[in-house]
């Protein structure tokens, strides 16, 4: 089947379609893009996709490349990174099961602004850009989910910048771990004692990059959080022992 030419879809056009009569942010899929779709929408989108698996540390898309597809993660975790002009890799976010990734460049008809790399084995659906926009035209309600996803991610980036300005190292790490724990709790059972194991396998260097701190700062911050009984650590494992208290500490309320 011959695919049609990919239309130029600007953020204004996408947001306009998505937000008619409602606030786009209200449509943000908190449990992942895929889980927010109906059974019929999932069936049609799967029919437009090709399944693919990625081994750990394999890039799913590259910063600077032309945009020709979007990806939906079915299982596994990936990190979103950007390379600075001086060659430093900065972690921007983590994506997991049900998340839509590599989407903003397709919708904005520009080159990708970040690299997405598998943290562990990832199973995904890859949808060519023309088929994805065709799917969105056939399911106008999904535009709200896509637009809501973009708005939510911009809000997350703004909160990260605010935390970098206002919070100390241990508080910044607490906020990051609380966010990761909330994500992880959606995709796995709690520990026997009620703790939440952080699912994305991030190293201390990667955590430091995400919170704009050195590995040494992360190690000191972990010691601080351990001493407060907020987290437990093991070999490449972090368990959030008390999520409400950890969130309160991150917010400066404890």
In 3-state terms the chain splits into helix, strand, coil percentages (rounded to 5) of 45, 20, 35
To the question of pTM greater than 0.75 for the whole model, the response is yes
Q: What is the pLDDT of residue 105?
A: 63
Q: What is the pLDDT of residue 149?
A: 84
Tell me the domain boundaries of the chain: 11-153, 167-250
Q: Cβ contacts of residue 185 below 8 Å, gap of 6+?
A: 196, 243
Contact status, residue 122 vs residue 77, Cβ threshold 8 Å: yes
Find how far residue 109's CA is from the centre of its chain: 21
Q: What is the pLDDT of residue 141?
A: 92
Q: Cβ contacts of residue 186 below 8 Å, gap of 6+?
A: 31, 32
Q: What is the pLDDT of residue 246?
A: 96
Q: Cβ contacts of residue 141 below 8 Å, gap of 6+?
A: none
CATH numeric code, 167-250? 1.10.10.10
Q: Rounded to an integer, what distance in angstroms lies between the CA atom of residue 46 and that of residue 52?
A: 12
Q: What is the pLDDT of residue 199?
A: 96
Q: What is the pLDDT of residue 21?
A: 35
Q: What is the pLDDT of residue 8?
A: 41
The parts of the chain modelled with pLDDT lower than 70 are: 1-30, 105, 108-109, 161-167, 254
Q: What is the pLDDT of residue 25?
A: 43
Ramachandran category for residue 18: left, alpha or beta (phi over 0 → left; psi -120 to 50 → alpha): alpha
In angstroms, the Cα distances linking 76 to 92, 96, 121 are 18, 6, 6
Range 11-153: architecture per CATH: Sandwich (2.60)
Q: What is the pLDDT of residue 148?
A: 85
* Listed residue (230, 213, 210) closest to 222, CA to CA: 230
Ramachandran category for residue 194: left, alpha or beta (phi over 0 → left; psi -120 to 50 → alpha): left
* Cross-strand pairs, 73: 124
């Amino acid at each position: 089947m011959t695919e049609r030419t990919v239309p130029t879809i600007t953020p204004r056009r996408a947001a306009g379609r998505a937000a008619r009569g409602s606030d786009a942010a209200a449509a943000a899929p908190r449990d992942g893009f895929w889980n927010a779709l109906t059974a019929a929408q999932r069936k049609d989108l799967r029919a437009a996709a090709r399944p693919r698996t990625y081994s750990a540390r394999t890039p799913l898309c590259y910063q600077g490349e032309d945009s020709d597809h979007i990806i939906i993660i079915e299982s596994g975790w990936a990190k979103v990174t950007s390379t600075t002009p001086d060659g430093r890799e900065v972690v921007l976010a983590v994506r997991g099961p049900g998340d839509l990734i590599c989407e903003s460049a397709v919708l904005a008809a520009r080159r990708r602004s970040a690299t997405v790399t598998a943290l562990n084995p990832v199973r995904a659906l890859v949808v060519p850009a023309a088929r994805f926009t065709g799917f969105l035209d056939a399911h106008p309600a999904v535009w709200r989910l896509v637009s809501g996803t973009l708005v939510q991610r911009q809000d997350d980036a703004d909160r990260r910048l605010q935390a970098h300005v206002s919070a100390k190292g241990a508080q910044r790490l607490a906020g990051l771990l609380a966010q990761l724990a909330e994500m992880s709790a959606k995709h796995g059972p709690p520990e026997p004692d009620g703790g939440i194991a952080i699912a994305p396998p991030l190293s201390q260097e990667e955590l430091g990059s995400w919170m704009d701190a050195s590995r040494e700062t992360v190690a000191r911050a972990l010691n601080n959080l351990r001493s407060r009984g907020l987290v437990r650590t093991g070999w490449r494992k972090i368990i959030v022992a008390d999520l409400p208290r950890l969130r309160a500490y991150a917010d400066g309320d404890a």
